[in-house]
Structure 1
Amino acid sequence: MKLFMASLATETNSFSPIPTGWSGFREHLYTKEASRGEAGLYAAAVTIWRCRAEERGWDVAEGLSTYAQPAGPTVRHVYETMRDDILTDLRAAMPVDLVLMSMHGAMIAQGYDDCEGDMMARIREIVGPEAKIGLELDPHCHLTEQMLDNATAIICYKEYPHIDVKERAEELFTLCADAAEGNITPVMRDYDCRMLAMYHTPFEPMRSYVDRMSAMEGKDGILSVSLVHGFPWGDSPRVGARTLVITDGDAELAEARAQELGQDLWALRDKLRRFPPMEEGIDRALTVNGAPVVMADFADNAGGGAPSDATFVLRAALDRGLKDIAFGTFWDPVLVGMCIDAGVGAKIAVRIGGKIGPMSGNPVDLTVTVRGIARDAVQHLGSAAMSMGDCVWLESDGLHILVNTRRTQTFHPEAFENTGMDLGAMKYIVVKSSQHFYDGFAPIAAEVIHLATPGAITPDFTIIPFTKRDDSYWPKTENPFN
């Protein structure tokens, strides 16, 4: 047996003002040897696949692995160059029995609404009808007919936050290897739930829903079950939640179970979590007995394509006179460089945030003291190491602000602690993240409050200005099945 594997991933916010170009991909992960020691979310799958294949004595050919922080549509020639690089290496590796790809599922490039589907179709054209193609996706994807028509098996991470990337990579390898060896015949069917929502899996009702999905697998011919959450800020005709079931050769069973799970999700829609408006959420934080209270600046999440320099919560904290409050991370490479040059202990006048556009709010001018510096800092999402670049901790009269050079959301307390900041001394912590922070911060929090803040990915799914899909989804339409 021979395996070819690669990874090309980003999540596209169609409404972000930040283009996704070469710098976005090359600053995070860009290598053809990711399986030999690279850290990070999108190196995890190829690392596992190499180990599993070599344990079986298979030949392994590895193409490009690359990832860009979510932003606006990828520049056309950048996408085409990376895609063609992977396809050229695949042709050189032929014949292969198995192709495994780690992608995001919500990548949009100029001229391409469905980069993953485009990649699957081109891979299928090269390898022919008999080779097996496996695709691992982030659940915040747009599951398309082109993906389904050309892949042998598609598996999404089950957890949000995404702490099960490695487990799903193992699962996909086993499923596709069994198919390549003739032991099973995977058949996929999906169901359109006609919903746009956030499905936070640590909380009910989603915790029980995901556990039920997992319990179905390996029984009665069901090989895999995935919930596609959809990425609400991607302007795709397929944006929205879908259930996906893979069975062993039984299309009717796959279709029936996908529909059943989709209808069960629809029945839960009014029980899904809703988030208080920013001021209301801050009011609630002030009543909590205990510290720190962790507040999520939902709409300024770089992981959803936001700039990560919005000042709305910072301004509210100043207006309320809050002290012992930490904010992070603000993306500003220029400011970080200035503060590193000034050095720890320096007192300087700075302009915080509000630089990218209206969705960032207005800049805030403060006189700050540089309290800490961390070079080449790293934080973790589960076991995956995520680069932050250089970081500085700035303090202004009880406000503690973390600023960094690589646009990224906040995953873990170590994001702050890298600079020497003591989160145990804080009453409040404001993280620029929608949910991936939860696994790291919940253990230290007296309470976690998701704020429906203004910004690039505000969680009001009735006002997203789609141009490529209709209004037949809840909550935009109360009953889109009519």
Structure 2
Amino acid sequence: MKLFMAALLTETNTFSPIPTGHGGFHEPSYRRTGASLEAPAWGNIPLIAWRRLAAEHGIEVIESLTANAQPSGTTIRAVYEGLRDLILADLKAAGPVEMVLLNLHGAMVAEGYDDCESDLVARARAIVGPDTIIGVELDLHCHLDETLRSQANIVITYKEYPHIDMTERAEEVFSLALRAARGEIRPVMAYHRLRMINMWHTPIEPMKSIIADMQAEEKSGQILSLSFAHGFPWGDVPHVGAVVLAVADGDAAHAQVTAERWAGRIWELRETTRKRFDTPDQAIDIALVGPGLTVVAETSDNAGGGAPSDCTAMLAAMLRRGVQNAAIGVFWDPVAVAFCQEAGEGARFPLRLGGKCGVMSGDPLDLMVRVHRVLDSHVQTALSGGVRQLGPAAWVEAEGIHIIIGSERNQVFNPDAFTGLGCMLADKRMVVVKSSQHFYAAFAPIAARVRYCAAEAGILRDFAAIPYERFTEPYWPKVANPFA
């Protein structure tokens, strides 16, 4: 038996001013072949699991491209088509294969393509024919359309947000694909669209129980797989929004009924799970009361959602309020880092920070800073055993606030984004992380409380007010009952 595998990932914020081009995909995660033989990173984690499992089952592996770009704006057409065609050329060259496994994001939009993943899978199907099993692993912040459902045999999304379960979901994709290739099961998939735009955090109730109960139903054998695709709110495509996906063994009606039942349960919890965000001043008020460390997620400037990650709105509020003994990061500002490198550790000098990428960035701040530390290469621990590059980086202090600045645009995943530069957090009363939720797994254990904040600049967090043009269906929370 022969397995073909590849990875192509980015999450497209169609409102972002940052184009996704050639350079975005040719960051350190790019590998023409063999990424599964290297250390875990965002793009190759499922491929590492698939290679390991293939070896256990005596399956030959043909590995193609791994490319992962930081979430940004719409992908340049020629860039997407070039990467896609590399994968397809490798698939043709591989000859007959029994399984094709693809690690994709699910919210990649390119010029001329509303759903790059569906386009890639449909073209792969045309090459391999109807009998080859195609399995796809997706981020739960994905868009699901009918092309993907009809052309793939198995689609499974992450269950957890933060995404701590990439390896486990990869193992499920492999297991079901292998069983299907052997003729032991006949997977059929069904969707149910919830007509909801929201963000659901799975480590806390009621979503924690939803995920546990989904997994219990899978283990009971009633259904092969259940996925709750949260959707990516800032992708203006006709099929944006939350979807429940069920995979059944040969029984399409059972898959459909199961998807509808789970969608109904999630719909009933809509007000309980509705995301509400502090203003910067509200978050500061809570942190100043204490006691203990308050971790504040600056969700509106999350690079993982396509924001520039150089917005100064939260920092400006902290300075205006005279907050002391606090930290914030990671700002994406290669120019500021270069100035800190030139000035050197211990230097005190005026630094203009942030506000460089347009309206989403807000205004720059002019600060008098002291440089505590600079590194030529800074990394942080990411999810599922991976690492994320921050590039040349600096730790500076301005008016009692400690600021981390990086040269590679990335959201915060782990305290070592701060401590790796020497900025300790145990003595801080407030730490602001430019992230939406992926920080939670590592920061929650050290926090007395976690708050979610949205500034006026950056990604729009009022889901009812996102200025969609191509998505025209009624949805909650914009309307109370989109099914009426």
Same fold (TM over 0.5): yes
8 Å CA contact 1:336, 1:403 repeated in 2:
yes
The Cα shift of 1:471 comes to 4.1
Q: Is the 8 A contact 1:15 1:72 kept in 2?
A: yes
* Aligned position for 1:183: 184
Q: What is the 5 A alignment of 1:329-408?
A: 329-382=330-383, 383-408=385-410
Looking at structure 2, the residues matched to 471 and 253 of structure 1 have their Cα atoms a distance apart, in angstroms, of: 27
Aligned 8 A contact 2:290 2:429 in 1: no
Residue 219 (structure 1) shift: 2.5
2:337 touches 2:393 (CA, 8 Å); kept in 1?
Answer: yes
The question of 1:11 aligning with 2:11 is answered: yes
CA distance in 2, matches of 1:166, 1:117: 22
SS in 2 for 1:415: helix
Shift of 1:208: 0.8
Deviation at 1:339, TM superposition (A): 1.1
Alignment-mate amino acid for residue 21 of structure 2: G
Map of 2:328 onto structure 1: 327
Residues 394-431 of structure 1: CA deviation (Å, up to 9, x unaligned): 11221111000100000000000111111112111000
1:129-168 mapped onto 2 (5 Å cutoff): 129-168=130-169
CA deviation after TM superposition for structure 1 residue 387, in Å: 1.4
Q: Does 1:477 align with 2:479?
A: yes
- 1:357 maps to amino acid: G
Cα distance in 2 for partners of 1:454, 1:303 equals 18
TM-score by length of 2: 0.98
Measure the CA separation in 2 of the matches of 1:429 and 1:441. Answer: 10
Q: In the alignment, residue 12 of structure 1 is paired with which amino acid?
A: T
Deviations for 1:84-122, whole angstroms, at most 9, x for unmatched residues? Answer: 000000000011110000000000001111100000100
**1: distance between equivalents of 2:131 and 2:280?**
53
Map of 1:197-236 to 2, 5 A cutoff? 197-236=198-237
Report the identity percentage: 50
Tell me the amino acid that sits aligned with residue 388 of structure 1.
L
Pairing 1:304–2:308 present: no
Per the alignment, in what secondary structure is the counterpart of residue 338 of structure 1? helix
CA–CA separation in structure 2 for the residues paired with 1:283 and 1:346 = 32
- Distance, in Å, in 1 between the alignment partners of 2:399 and 2:13 is 36
Instruction: Report matched runs for 1:109-128 at 5 Å.
Output: 109-128=110-129
What RMSD over aligned residues (CA atoms) do the two structures have, in Å? Answer: 1.0
How far apart, CA to CA, are the structure 1 residues paired with 2:374 and 2:296? 24
Distance 2:469 2:261 in 1: 30
* Letter matched to residue 4 of structure 1: F
CA distances 1:290-333 after superposition (whole Å, capped 9, x unpaired): 2x211110110000000000011101011101111111000011
Kept in 2: contact 1:285–1:449 (CA 8 A)? no
8 Å Cα contact 1:306-1:455 kept in structure 2? no
**Residue number among 445, 450, 453 corresponding to 1:451 in the alignment:** 453
Q: Which deviates further from its counterpart, 175-184 or 342-351? A: 342-351
Give the equivalent residue in structure 1 for 2:90: 89
* Cα distance in 1 between the residues matched to 2:458 and 2:50: 36
Q: Do the aligned partners of residues 397 and 276 (structure 1) sit closer, same or farther apart at CA in structure 2, a change above 3 Å counting? A: closer
Residue pair 2:296, 2:430 contacting (<8 A) in 1 also = yes
Structure 2: which amino acid aligns with 1:11? E
SS of the residue aligned with 2:432?
A: strand
Please tell me whether the aligned partners of residues 40 and 48 of structure 2 are also in contact (alpha carbons under 8 angstroms): no
Is 1:276 the counterpart of 2:278? The answer is yes
Alignment deviations for residues 239-259 of structure 1 (CA, whole Å, 9 cap, x no partner) = 110001111111111100100
* TM-aligned CA deviation for residue 38 of structure 1: 3.8
User: Which AA in structure 2 matches 1:3?
Assistant: L
Stretches of structure 1 that go unaligned for 5 or more consecutive residues are none
Q: Which residue of 2 aligns with 1:22?
A: 22
Q: Are the structure 2 counterparts of residues 50 and 80 from structure 1 closer, same or farther at C-alpha, using a change threshold of 3 Å?
A: same
Partners of 2:197 and 2:233 within 8 A in 1? yes
TM-score, normalised via structure 1 length:
0.98
CA contact (8 A) 1:462 1:476 kept: yes
Counting only pairs closer than 5 Å after superposition, residues 429-468 of structure 1 correspond to structure 2 as 429-468=431-470
Local SS of the residue matching 2:174: helix
Please state how far the C-alpha of 1:28 moved relative to its aligned partner.
3.6
Tell me the CA shift for residue 457 of structure 1. Answer: 1.9
After TM superposition, the structure 1 = structure 2 runs for residues 7-86 of structure 1, keeping only pairs within 5 Å, are: 7-31=7-31, 32-86=33-87
Cα offsets for 1:236-282 (capped at 9, x unmatched): 11111000111111111110010000011110001014222232222
Q: Please state whether the residue corresponding to 1:30 is helix, strand or coil.
A: coil
For residues 220 and 64 of structure 1, the distance between their equivalents in structure 2, rounded to whole angstroms, comes to 35
Query: Where does residue 249 of structure 2 map in the other structure?
Result: 248
* DSSP 3-state at the match of 1:409: coil
- Map Cα deviations across residues 317-369 of structure 1 (whole Å, 9 max, x no partner): 11101111111000011211221122211112100111111221111101111
1:220, CA displacement in angstroms? 4.1
Range moving further from structure 2, 95-104 or 45-54 = 45-54
Number of the residue aligned with 2:239? 238
- Specify the alignment match of 2:422 in structure 1: 420
Q: Equivalents in 1 of 2:437, 2:456: separation in Å?
A: 16
Q: Deviations over 1:117-155 (max 9, x none)?
A: 000100000000000000000000001111101000000
Shift >6 Å, 4+ stretches:
none
Distance in 1 (alpha carbons) for counterparts of 2:409 and 2:260: 39
CA contact (8 A) 2:378 2:391 kept: yes
Q: Distance in 2 between matches of 1:253 and 1:90?
A: 33
